[in-house]
Structure 1
Amino acid sequence: MDFAQADAINQAIRLLSLRHRARAAALLVPLGLHPGQETLLLELARTGPMIQAQLSETLGCEPPSVTLMTRKLEAAGHIRRDPAPTDKRATVVTLTDRGRALAEQIKQLWCDLAEETVVGLSAETVAELPDVLNTMTGNVDGRRRRPA
């Protein structure tokens, strides 16, 4: 690959990432959420209660970031944190009824954002996009984990 093609690919990915995150942030404001909090709520809606450390790993966030997010979401009444029954050092995070209702709103927001993002693309391209993007993510993750 030559530099012009590499630059075009890298710039497109960078701009998409920045603009998608900014658009998501703007859509989350009316819900009283900040970027990252929605993924935590969606993960709990998808899996049910989780130990906070597992949540950190699943989300790909540092434990202190998840701790901060869970404190804010708990203060807002969206989640509950309780000591794990088998390990008092661990914390189990559970959606409240209010959090479940908010997760439903987030799902609709996520659908709207995805539709907005892929407008103008063919149905075939849209269907292939998750696999393409996941492959690209795996490629980057694989490189990061390999020893130098």
Structure 2
Amino acid sequence: MDFAQADAINQAIRLLSLRHRARTATLLAPLGLHPGQEALLLELARTGPMIQAQLSEALGCEPPSVTLMTRKLEASGHVRRGPAPSDKRASVVELTDSGRALVDQVKRIWCALAEETVSGLPAETVAELPGVLGTLTGNVDARRRRDDR
């Protein structure tokens, strides 16, 4: 691949990431949420209560980030933390009734954001996007794991 093509690909991914996050922040602000918190709420809605370390792995972010998000969401009354039955040092995070109600609003915002993002694309391309983006993520993750050795 030559530099021009590499630059075009990397710039497109970078700009999409930045603008998607900014748009996410705008849409979540009326709910009192910040980007990343919606993913945590959606993950808990999908899986049920989880240990913070598992939540960190599922979200693909560092444990201190999950701890901070969890504390803020707990202060807002959307999640609660308690000791894990198998390890009193670990915390289990679960949605509260308030958090479950908020998830419904987040799902509506998530759908609207996805529709905005893929507007104008053919349905076939939209159907292929999760697989293509998953492959890109897997490629970067595999390389990062090799580099960490």
TM-score range, shorter chain: over 0.9
Cα-to-partner distance string for 1:52-110 (whole Å, 9 max, x where unaligned)? 11111111121111111111101100001111122111111010011001011101100
CA distance in 2 between counterparts of 1:61 and 1:143 reads 17
Match of 1:146 in 2: 146
Match of 1:108 in 2: 108
Percentage identity across paired residues of the two chains: 82
Amino acid aligned to 1:8: A
Give the Å deviation of 1:142: 1.0
CA distance in 2 between counterparts of 1:119 and 1:57 reads 31
CA distance in 1 between counterparts of 2:88 and 2:44 reads 20
Where structure 1 has 5 or more consecutive residues not aligned to the other structure, the ranges are none
Match of 2:87 in 1: 87
Cα-to-partner distance string for 1:12-35 (whole Å, 9 max, x where unaligned)? 111111100100011010010011
Amino acid aligned to 1:51: I
Match of 1:98 in 2: 98
CA distance in 2 between counterparts of 1:126 and 1:54 reads 30
Instruction: Please show how residues 1-148 of structure 1 align to structure 2 within 5 Å.
Output: 1-147=1-147
CA distance in 2 between counterparts of 1:143 and 1:86 reads 34
Cα RMSD between the aligned structures? 1.0
CA distance in 2 between counterparts of 1:7 and 1:142 reads 21
CA distance in 2 between counterparts of 1:51 and 1:134 reads 25
Q: Judge which range, 117-126 or 136-145, deviates more.
A: 136-145
Tell me the TM-score normalized by structure 1: 0.97
CA distance in 2 between counterparts of 1:104 and 1:92 reads 22
Tell me the TM-score normalized by structure 2: 0.96
CA distance in 1 between counterparts of 2:142 and 2:53 reads 23
